[in-house]
Amino acid sequence: MATLTDVDIKKLLTESSSVTMRPSYEGGNINTAIGFKCDNYLLEAAVLDHFRAVGLGATELYLVHGVNFDVVGVDTRLHTVLTLDDDVTVEVTPKTKDTDREMVFAVAAIVERDGAPKKAVTSKFRVLLRRDTAIPDPAPLPAELERFVVDRLATAEPAELASAPVDDLHGAFHRGEDASTDPVLAEIIGDDNAIGWKWRIPYYYCHFTERMQMSGYLRQMEEAKHLFVASRGISIKRLLDERGWIPVVTQNKLRFTDEAVMEEDLYSVYTVESVFKDMLYTSRMDFYVVRDGKLVKTATGEITHGYCHKETPDSEWQMAVFDDEVLRALRGE
């Protein structure tokens, strides 16, 4: 077991670090542009590296100190598109105040454009260390870190629910997309400009043998866009084929409000809240489980979408202006 010195703790909590990485090949879904989900993955990897550099990697935290490293909040802005073969320098700067109960990090992904460094993505990450009872007799963490150790990541106040859940998944991990067949989804959505679906959380969206992790929610947020536009007749593939438009995210936020556990039924709801300047629209994402007949919100967030296109393969990206068909679809008209 490594012994952390005062210098290590100072580095972790007060000093910046940087690492150079390339985006995951998984994120190159449309030509070579990287989507928001894998941008966030890149930033998360840099924050993990910030801990690893002082001897507190996720494995050390878990096996030795009996705590799970959990990203519980992200607030990310995308300023320029990252591509598959970019060398990205990710800077992690601690921003935790003396009164904070979460560790806070400003994270910036910097890439070279036109011979000069440019901030491509910036974010604020929030991290907690959750106790894990599976580890017997864990070694204590330094006292400076104890205020960030919790027994539970968050606890939401359950809400009354008039509807009773139904088992309409027809198998262990299938999901339905039509709220008209699920009374709980119908109650959550009401008259909102929204879609929702119920889905059983699989192990590969979780970590530490139990809970859905931040990347799992980001994957659901990405899927919501895909399902929403398809349900309104303007699917991703249609706009790609007909107009060369690719979906682009300018900002996304997500924070935990409770914990979601492997094989619970998760209700994911995507609600369009505003359309502005005929170029961007903002949607809210809310996630729920039903426990003891009551509705529990496990996470909530926002995402701002638009579309980009290129006049030629080697030209600069340009924002597309929504036409009447797209505006009507987004507004549910």
Query: How many Å apart are CA 91 and CA 20, to the nearest integer?
Result: 9
In a shared domain, residues 125 and 212: no
Residue 31 has pLDDT above 90, yes or no: no
Q: How high is the pLDDT of residue 170?
A: 54
Torsion of CA 68, 93, 8, 146, to 10 degrees: -40
Q: Which domain holds residue 91?
A: 1-151
Listed in sequence order, the DSSP H helices in 232-323 are 236-243
Give me the residue label for tokens 């709980």: 184
Residue 232 has pLDDT above 80, yes or no: yes
In a shared domain, residues 116 and 84: yes
Residue 174 has pLDDT above 50, yes or no: no
Query: Which of these three, 131, 151, 171, is where a domain ends?
Result: 151
**What percent of the chain lies above the pLDDT cut of 90?**
85
In a shared domain, residues 284 and 210: yes
Summarised one tens digit per residue, pLDDT across range 233-263 is: 999 999 999 999 989 999 999 999 999 999 9
Q: What's the pTM value of the predicted model, to 2 decimals?
A: 0.94
Query: How many Å apart are CA 9 and CA 54, to the nearest integer?
Result: 8
Query: How many Å apart are CA 108 and CA 119, to the nearest integer?
Result: 7
Residue 93 has pLDDT above 50, yes or no: yes
Residue 171 has pLDDT above 50, yes or no: no
Q: How high is the pLDDT of residue 130?
A: 98
CATH code, domain with 226:
3.10.129.10
Question: Stretch 125-148: mean pLDDT, rounded?
Answer: 95
In a shared domain, residues 244 and 292: yes
Question: Stretch 173-178: mean pLDDT, rounded?
Answer: 51
Residue 222 has pLDDT above 60, yes or no: yes
Q: How high is the pLDDT of residue 175?
A: 53
Q: How many domains does the chain have?
A: 2
